[in-house]
A and B are shown apart, each in its own frame.
Chain A
Amino acid sequence: MNRQPQIVETFVKKVLAHLDEPDPAKLEQFLQLFNPHQCKIIFNSQPFGQAVQFLQAWQTGVVLTQHVITAVDFHVIPGTGTLLCNVNCKVRFDESGKDKNGQDSTVPANSQDSQSRPGQGSINSRSLDKPRPIWGTYYGVSLQLVLEDRIFTNDLNGVISSMNYTIVFKPSDSLMSI
């Protein structure tokens, strides 16, 4: 039985899950998927020379995201050991005004209530409770991945040799500017 479609779809889900991951400690695992020698990353028509640059920019410069796959298709290109994967998905951003670390841009008030913003001190006992994201409206994304066919043998090291991520439509009620 041909398992290729399922493997491709699972892999795409994995990539999107990495993009949605808030924990910087897991960046290393994501980085391993990209070809360390030559990897072309294009994000909204802007090139990133290396995967690590892109991932750092994504980790530090983008708020929490949530991707949902809407379409996947792929072609194994004969004789090259590669496949091209064409994905459409939608993405929404955490518009609560907080970054991935839960930091917002509010300047602490200089009065006595500076250290006690409502509720913050009291939940320290449950400090693992991250503030809940406030999801905005979905954007549309078109994503192309050039992958090595080693993914079919469950070898995921450095299999992504290029990635083209393009936001194709945006809602007018989003607070994000792209």
Chain B
Amino acid sequence: MQVGGFGNVNQIGALAQQNQLDNLVSVSIRGWTNATQQDLLNFISRKTRISVRNSVVQGDTIVGYVTPQEADQLVKFSGYRFAGNSLKIHKAVGGNTNPNTNDTITVLRNVLLRRYNVQTRMLDLGNLFNDPELVQRGMAPKNVNTQSKMFPAMMKVASKEPSMVVESINLSDNNLRDVNGVTTLAQTFPHLKNLCIANNSISRFHSLEVWKNKFKELRELLMMNNPITSDRLYRTEMLRIFPKLVILDNVVVRDEQKLLSIYSLPVQQTQFFFEDNGLASSSTDFITNFLNLWDSNRMQLMGLYTPQSQFSLSVDSSVPAATVPNAQTTPTFGHYLPFSRNISKISSDKTIQERLRIGPEAIYEVFGSLPMTKHFLQEQPDAYSVQAWTFPQVQGFVITLHGHFDETAKPEIDKSKASQGSSASRGRRYNHGFTSTPNIKLSQKSFDRTMVLVPSPNGSVIIASDSLTIRPFCDSAWSKPPSPSQPQAQPVQLQPQMNVPLSQTPPNTSSIPGQIPGVLGSTPLQFSPEVQAKLSPEVQAKLSPVQLELLQKLHLETKLNAEYTYMLAEQSLWNYDNAIQGFRNSANNLPREAFV
């Protein structure tokens, strides 16, 4: 195309293209079903020099778009032999057949919705070729081949239907000789629990092999009236292909209790552990304040470190598997590696010794050399996990925090600049200060940070030991949808200074009134402000009737909303008097949205 150098040349091109598109007519091609759509298009393009654009499969027909001249040529081509059949090519009657495509989707969608049962979460796709609506539209699959075109389309439509929560699927009476035509079922419904493919003609294990390692939650399979069921190895093979299958053709094949115990750990993972309530509030306070200053002004943290305090960081550069959600595949650690004290990677004793920083000056040298960061404790409390427990030998405690942060800017003290040598620093100047070196570009990181905290005589706290692991970013293992059963999850109000009183960890009950303003003065909760003291069903299910009654009483007395009522009750250990006392002490500090 000639480019005249005008600013709007792209626009002209786009207009021309649009114009051309408007003039396209659609053609329908039949009699191709012994080959793939791509084979056909290649064949036509080879024979006629015409390319069929935007083609889609509709039942046993391919519909595509060509210019009117091309359409006339193509129609003449009708009757040509292709893959053992003669092709039938027609020009569509109307100019624009896009509505037809939409029509197809609408038909499939209607069929799906009609065959879906909300109560049983069952999608009944049995006996599709006798479906009156599909028959009427000429879309009913008559044999395996056409089925293999229609079914993926149907699955695609189903995957765009978020309201359909499907646990069971019936595919019986579909003349299936293998599952090739319906293999996309595994992509659309990977969490399927029950599947019926009875009354088909499946005869070989080989065809089911495509579903191996798919359908990991499949519990029940019905395959009666398929030739395959009479095979001697039928049971063994089904057990192998579906690892969590419990019921096969109405017979129990696995002990479900045993199966569950094998594929789970002795305890379910939770997000937080605090050895006692006092520790819960003081450590959440501490972490929030610490990270806030770490993100904004690290110098202010230095008061927490004494001449004996130790800091070191270690880089865990092992890349998580590709199947870990959102795992960073090419992490960069350029800013951290010069300080990494990962003793499983570093053999030099001298280096190991040098990289342990003792005392505020030495520690700040590293702090200032790490990229500026932003943690998301307030915005995404679910992304962080904390364990805090007492450490009697130091009369203090240990806090471990797992989570992630964004790198927002280069370090205050740019060490990597010095180590880059002269040619690199010239490059920097030419790049206006942006380093293009890939190994120090800024990105997200995941981390684990463990601190040993010791209360100091003046009521504040010092960090005796601080060790940080930096690793590639990925989603956390504990993240689950937020639930009000974990009120500690809520971030804690920022306090102006770091002095967290830890000298006397108060016993549980007396700590409560003081704790509530701290915990409740948090950012707005994600839960909708319910008027009734209603909690999510899974929380309610865990509560005893007595607890529910207490919640109701508290709600009436305090006019707090459901979440705050629950938090109040939990923090007062389900004691009504404590809760009311706690509420009176802290009512003035509660945000407006805490009330109904």
- A residues apposed to B, CB below 8 Å: 1-2, 5, 8-9, 38, 40, 42-47, 57-58, 61-63, 69-75, 77-78, 80-82, 84, 86, 88, 90, 95, 97-99, 103-107, 109, 113, 117-118, 137-140, 142, 144, 146, 161-162, 164, 166-178
| B316 interface contact, C-beta 8 A | yes
CB distance from A55 to the nearest CB of B (A): 11
Asked, given contacts A47-B273, A70-B318, whether A162 binds B391 with beta carbons under 8 Å apart, the answer is yes
- Chain A residues positioned under 8 Å from B216 (CB to CB): 175
Q: Considering the chains assembled together, what is the distance between the CA atoms of A170 and B477 in angstroms?
A: 5
Query: Of the candidates B264, B314, B356, B476, which one forms a contact with A71 in the assembled complex, judged by CB atoms under 8 Å apart?
Result: B314
CB contact between A97 and one of B232, B259, B476 (< 8 Å): that residue: B259
Interface residue stretch chosen among B55-63, B250-258, B279-287: B250-258
Chain A positions within 8 Å of B469 at CB level: 71, 73, 86, 88, 142
A178 to B235, CA, bound (A): 29
Name B402's contact: one of A81, A168, A176 (CB within 8 Å).
Answer: A168
Contact B450 A86 (CB under 8 A): yes
Taking a contact as CB atoms under 8 Å apart, the answer to whether B387 and A45 are in contact is yes
Cβ contacts under 8 Å, A169 to chain B: 320, 324, 327, 446, 474-477
Are B400 and A46 in touch, CB under 8 angstroms?
A: no
Within 8 A of A (CB), among B202-246: 213, 216, 232, 235-236, 239, 243-244
With both beta carbons as reference points, the residue of chain B lying nearest to A59 in the complex is identified as: B266
Whether A172 contacts B344 by the Cβ 8 Å rule is no
Residues in A with CB closer than 8 Å to B258 are 103-105
Chain A CB count within 10 A is highest, among B239, B385, B477, for B477
Binary per-residue interface labels of chain B (22-47) against chain A in the complex, 1 for a CB within 8 Å, 0 otherwise: 00000000000000000000000000
Which 5 pairs, one residue from A and one from B, show the smallest C-beta to C-beta distance?
Answer: A105-B258, A44-B269, A61-B266, A71-B316, A57-B266
Among A47, A78, A170, A174: residue with most chain B CB under 10 A: A170
B interface with A by C-beta (< 8 Å): 213, 216, 232, 235-236, 239, 243-244, 252-256, 258-259, 261-273, 275, 308, 310, 312-318, 320-321, 323-325, 327, 341-345, 349, 352-353, 356, 385, 387, 389-394, 398, 400, 402, 446, 448, 450, 452, 464-465, 467, 469, 471, 474-478
B310's nearest neighbour on chain A, judged by CB, is: A75
Q: Who on chain B is nearest to A99 by CB?
A: B262
Give 16 A-B pairs besides A47-B273, A99-B262, A117-B236 with Cβ atoms closer than 8 angstroms: A8-B343, A61-B265, A69-B344, A73-B314, A73-B343, A73-B467, A75-B467, A77-B465, A88-B469, A104-B258, A106-B255, A107-B253, A140-B320, A146-B391, A164-B387, A173-B213
Q: Given that A105-B258, A106-B239 are known contacts, is A5 also in contact with B476, CB under 8 Å in the complex?
A: no
The interface centre, meaning the residue of A2, A42, A109 with most chain B CB atoms within 10 A of its CB, is A42
Chain B residues with CB under 8 Å of A5's CB are: 343, 349, 352
Are the CB atoms of A40 and B393 closer together than 8 Å?
A: no
Q: How far is the CB of A104 from chain B (nearest CB, A)?
A: 7
A110: nearest residue on chain B (CB-CB)? Answer: B251
CB distance from A61 to the nearest CB of B (A): 4
Check A73–B342 contact: CB distance below 8 A. yes
10 sampled A-B residue pairs with Cβ under 8 A = A38-B392, A44-B268, A44-B269, A70-B318, A99-B262, A105-B254, A105-B262, A107-B255, A164-B387, A166-B400
Q: Chain A residues with Cβ under 8 A from B273's Cβ?
A: 42, 45-47
Contacts of A72 in B (CB 8 A): 314, 342-344
Q: Could you tell me the distance between the alpha carbons of A142 and B291 in the complex, rounded to whole angstroms?
A: 20
CB distance from B411 to the nearest CB of A (A): 21
Contact check, B393 vs A81: say whether CB atoms are below 8 A apart: yes
Q: In the complex, what residues of A have CB within 8 A of residue B271's CB?
A: 45
Q: Write out the residue numbers on chain B whose beta carbons fall within 8 Å of the beta carbon of A88.
A: 314, 316, 448, 469, 471
Partner pick for A137 among B269, B323, B341, B391, CB 8 A cutoff: B323
How many angstroms between the C-alpha atoms of A164 and B262 in the bound complex? 23
The one of A77, A142, A161 in contact with B448, judged by C-beta atoms closer than 8 angstroms, is: A142
- Contact indicator A162/B402 (Cβ below 8 Å): no
In the complex, how many angstroms separate the beta carbon of B74 from the nearest chain A beta carbon?
Answer: 46
Q: A99-B262, A144-B450 are in contact. Are A78 and B308 (CB under 8 A)?
A: yes
For B398, list chain A residues within 8 Å (CB). Answer: 84, 144, 146, 162, 164
The answer to whether B394 touches A82 (Cβ under 8 A) is yes
**Which of A45, A144, A146 is close to B272, meaning CB atoms less than 8 Å apart?**
A45
Chain B residues in 8 Å Cβ range of A73: 312-314, 341-343, 467, 469
Looking across the interface, which residue of chain B has its beta carbon closest to that of A142?
Answer: B448
- Kindly state the separation between the CA atoms of A74 and B324 in the bound complex, as whole angstroms: 28
CA distance A107 to B130 in the complex (A): 39
Task: Please determine whether A107 and B471 come into contact, CB atoms closer than 8 angstroms.
Answer: no
Q: Which residues of B contact A146 (CB under 8 A)?
A: 391, 393, 398
Contact A170 B324 (CB under 8 A): yes
Whether the pair B448, A45 counts as a contact (CB closer than 8 A) is no
Contact B262 A98 (CB under 8 A): yes
* Beta-carbon contact of B467 and A61 below 8 Å: no
Contact of B318 among A90, A142, A166 (CB under 8 A): A90
Point out the residues of chain B lying under 8 angstroms from A167, CB to CB.
Answer: 269, 477-478
Nearest CB in chain B to that of A40: its residue: B389
Identify the closest chain B residue to A57 (Cβ). Answer: B266
Cα(A117)–Cα(B317), bound, Å:
44
A62 close to B266 (CB less than 8 A): yes
Of A77, A90, A99, the residue contacting B464 (CB under 8 A) is A77
Check if A77 sits within 8 Å of B394, measured CB to CB: yes
One of B232, B390, B477 near A178 (C-beta < 8 A): B477
Whether A118 lies near B236 (C-beta < 8 A) is yes
A178 touches B389 (CB 8 A): no
B467 adjacent to A166 (CB under 8 Å): no
CA distance A88 to B447 in the complex (A): 10
Bound form: Cα–Cα A137–B319 in Å = 12
- Partner pick for B270 among A46, A71, A98, A177, CB 8 A cutoff: A46
